Amino acid sequence: MRLKNKISIITGAGRGIGRSIAFAFANEGAHLVLVARSRDQLENLAQEIKERGGRALPVTCDVSSAREMQNLVKQVQDEFGQVDILVNNAGISKRSKLLEYDDETWLEVIRVNLFGTYLCIKTFLPMIQKIGHGRIINIASTAGKNPVPFNSAYSASKHGVLGLTKSVASEVALAGYPGITVNAICPFYVNTEMFSGPRGYVAEMAKTSGMTEDEVIEKAVSRNLQHRIIEPEEVASMAVYLASEEARGITGQAMNICGGLIFH
C-alpha cells in the first residue's frame, strides 16, 4: 500500500493508460479523482474501483478549459480537501503531413496535450504546496525525444511537456519544496485504443500506406530492440513508483518505457 490514503488526480482516466494507472493506484491504497471528457467511461471505472473497495470521484472536465478546471477544483476540495498526486495523462493525436494540417487541428493537439498539462499543474500545484510534499507525473512519449514525421503537432506537444516538466521541477525545488517532485514518463507505442483502435495509429497507417494492419504493427515493433508494443500496465507500474516515497530523489526526469528504442 505505497500510496495509502493519497489523494490522486488522474486525467484522461477513462481508458488506456489512464485507466491502468487508476487501477494500479487504487491497488496501492490511493483515493482517486478520475478526470476525462467521457462521463460513461468515468462512471464505469469509478464503479469498478468502488466494487474493489476503493474510493473514486469521477469528474467530467476538459483539461484545457480554465472554467471547467475551476469546477474540478471545487469538487476536489469538497470531497477530499487536498491533493497529493497529479497525473497528467489526458492527450490526443491527430496525424497529418505538415503542409496538409488544418491549423485548428494542429492547435487543438497543442491545447489539450501541452496547455492542458500546464493548466492542470498551475491549478493544483498550490494545493500540493500547501501540504509541502507531493508528486506531479506527466505522461509524455518517446515522440517528445525523437522526431515523428506526419505527426508534428503531437511530437511538438510532447517535446513541450518534457520542457515544462524540467522547468516546473526546477522552479518548485528552488521555491523551497524539495518534497515535491515533477517527472515525466515517455512510453513507446502502447497497446491502447490510440494505437490499435478503429481510429488509432494502426488503422490510420494501414489506410494511408496501403499496408495491412499486421504489416503496420510489424514495422512499428521492429523499431525497438525488444520488438514489442508496451502494455499500459507497464506505464502504470512506473507511475506508481514515481508517486511513491521510494522515488523521492527523482525529479525533473523523463523515464523511457520503450523496449530499447532510445537511450536518452
C-beta separation of 252 from 170 below 8 A? yes
Nearest of 90, 86, 54 to residue 73 by alpha carbon: 86
C-alpha cell at 190: 502502447
177 is catalytic: no
Amino acid at 120: C
CB-CB neighbours of 135 under 10 Å: 27
CB 101 within 8 Å of CB 150: no
Helices (H), 63-186: 66-79, 103-110, 116-131, 152-174
- Catalytic residue, from 154, 189, 201, 241: name it: 154
The residues assigned a catalytic role are: 154
